Amino acid sequence: MTAMRTILVIGMGVGDPAFMTAQGVEALNRVDVLFVLENAGQYDDRISLRQRVLDRFVGGEQPRVVMAPVPPHKVGETEAAQRALRADWRRRSIELCAHLARDELADGQVGAFLTAGDPALYDGMIEALAQVAEEVEIDVEVVPGVSAVSALAAAHKISLTRPGGAVLITTGPRLTAGVPDGIDDVVVMLDPDQLAFKSVPGEDFEIYWGANLGTPGEILISGPLREVEARIERERAAMRENQGWVYDTYLLRRVLR
């Protein structure tokens, strides 16, 4: 009988190895092979964060690192073309993960992916591995991490929820379609270029904005949206220029009068 291969999906937090949880560190120390799905030269900050996590938290010999370039994202002209491209990207990512599970892990070994933040939020790895498990015999384990959403709230010293209230977590493109009725608090992720907060009525909302959270270049801005949106736009552009990349997450909070 052959021993099962295991693949761990470990949330590593955002920006700073200090966001690793004790459970994440324990899991990391079981790993034989770490898979890094990044394109060198493109996301070097994320590659170096993983290396800093290994250097800080792996007690003995470090796992073998297998770098695998991810298929490039393409942008479709229409909604339907975009959906088809997304499905094709998912299919190719699943094939890549299946190849890693089959060809880079020996029976009984433990492989892992260190994913940004928490793997349960806007990360396809859990879903991809569920598909892989249909064709390759693997046992999948998930270890939660500190998401950009939690890091944002802590950095601003706020709670995301008001007493008994609801909070919507959504993306920049979805926000541009409007804040749904009955929603007063919205966390926005994946807003790389659109500055989707400009699409909501600035006089009705406050914003709590955080960029490159957990890094030495972290910037936090909060206040009435109308008053601070121009400053956010300027800081964002300057960050992209100076730091080479910007990841931002923000809470829009309706002012209840």
Ligand X SMILES: C[S@@+](CC[C@H](N)C(=O)[O-])C[C@H]1O[C@@H](n2cnc3c(N)ncnc32)[C@H](O)[C@@H]1O
User: Which of 213, 225, 232, 252: binder of ligand X (CB under 6 A)?
Assistant: 213
Nearer to ligand X, 66 or 190 (CB): 190
Rounded CA-CA distance 111/30 in Å is: 9
Contact segment (CB under 6 A) with ligand X among 89-97, 119-127, 176-184, 198-206 equals: 119-127
Q: Which residue is nearest to ligand X (CB)?
A: 117
Nearer to ligand X, 205 or 247 (CB): 247
Indicate whether 12 belongs to the interface with ligand X (CB under 6 A).
no
Q: Which of 89, 93, 92, 95 is nearest to 74 (CA)?
A: 89
Indicate whether 24 belongs to the interface with ligand X (CB under 6 A).
no
Indicate whether 160 belongs to the interface with ligand X (CB under 6 A).
no
Indicate whether 219 belongs to the interface with ligand X (CB under 6 A).
no
Give the nearest distance from C-beta 173 to ligand X in angstroms.
11
Neighbouring C-beta atoms of residue 36, cutoff 10 Å: 18
Indicate whether 118 belongs to the interface with ligand X (CB under 6 A).
yes
Q: What is the DSSP string of 210-232?
A: EESTTSTT-EEEEEEHHHHHHHH
Nearer to ligand X, 4 or 158 (CB): 158
Cα-flanking dihedrals φ and ψ of residue 62, to 5°?
A: -75, 150
Indicate whether 142 belongs to the interface with ligand X (CB under 6 A).
no
First to last CA, the chain: 67
Q: Angle, nearest 10°, between helix axes 79-103 and 125-132?
A: 60
* Alpha helix (H) residue ranges in the chain: 22-28, 44-57, 79-103, 125-132, 148-156, 172-175, 225-243
Binding site for ligand X (CB under 6 A): 14-15, 116-118, 121-123, 147-148, 189-190, 210-214, 247-249
